[in-house]
Amino acid sequence: MKKSILVYGDSLVWGRNASQKDRHSFDDRWPNVLASILKDVSVWEAGLGGRTTDLEFVGRPGRNGLKHLPVALLQAAPLDLVILALGTNDPFAEAGRKPQDTVNAMRALITATRDLPTAPGSSVPNTSPPKVMIVSPPNCLPLHSVTGEGFPELDDLTRWLPKLANLYEKLAIEQQTYFADAANFCEPDPVDGLHLDVENTRKLGVGIAKALVFAGFADFHGRQTNLDQAWR
């Protein structure tokens, strides 16, 4: 029986292509690379540019991740695993946002995920809560390294994101979830210093797949050559 995975995140899940200012193709977006590598899994993509953990984003409606998570969960249910890949947009949405604030919001996202079977109006009331994986965001580049149009917040983010990754890892231990640091698998596109090019979004999918196999959640699909092809 196939296991069902929801990937809930921001523009990196959606597949923002900084060079072309559009979206990566279906096969290149990392959740679908993940699906192609793992055996007997189906993956739901739920990515939205600008999505935060629990903040409203002025001028960008519908970006509060905590507020809109229940809909995504119910649409994809029943689920075996929910991958939460959020955090980068929080300092953009709220000046002075501290990494610990985002960790607290991630804890609330985990609780909401685990409450899915007992949530009011749940369509899967008799199922077990899905497992959770926290994915900390990739690092970004300092503004002076950007070759195109960068974001003024990049220099602060170069310090903010590693702190968040460290705290997310501690939260994963506290909450007994899976954890993966995207910075170990991919590097940002120098065009804007934040998003991923085709090669790196595919590398992220391979990295997450390896982490899930190592954790015992799934197995690789087919022969090793399939994994090698995913790197391209």
pLDDT in tens, 2-47: 999 999 999 999 999 988 889 999 999 999 999 999 999 999 999 9
First CA to last CA distance, the chain: 29
User: Residue 127's pLDDT band (boundaries 50, 70, 90)?
Assistant: confident
Average pLDDT over residues 135-155: 88
Domain range for 204 is 3-231
pTM assigned to the model: 0.93
- Give the count of domains, the chain: 1
Q: What is the mean pLDDT of the chain?
A: 92
Average pLDDT over residues 39-58: 96
Q: What pLDDT, in 10s, does the model give residues 77-110?
A: 999 999 999 999 999 999 999 999 999 999 999 9
pLDDT at residue 231 tops 60: no
pLDDT at residue 226 tops 80: no
Of 56, 150, 160, nearest to 100 by C-alpha is 160
Contacts 24+ apart (CB under 8 A), 223-226: 226/36, 226/37
What pLDDT is stored for residue 227 in this prediction? 55
Answer for the pair 232, 199: CB distance below 8 angstroms, yes or no.
Answer: yes
pLDDT at residue 223 tops 60: no
Answer for the pair 96, 20: CB distance below 8 angstroms, yes or no.
Answer: no
| CA dihedral (68, 71, 76, 81) positive or negative | positive
Q: What pLDDT, in 10s, does the model give residues 172-191?
A: 999 999 999 999 999 999 99
In this structure, what CATH number is given to the domain that contains residue 90? 3.40.50.1110
Q: Which residue has the higher pLDDT, 15 or 152?
A: 15
Tell me the Ramachandran region of residue 216: left when phi exceeds 0, alpha when psi lies from -120 to 50, beta otherwise. left
What pLDDT is stored for residue 116 in this prediction? 83
What pLDDT is stored for residue 88 in this prediction? 96
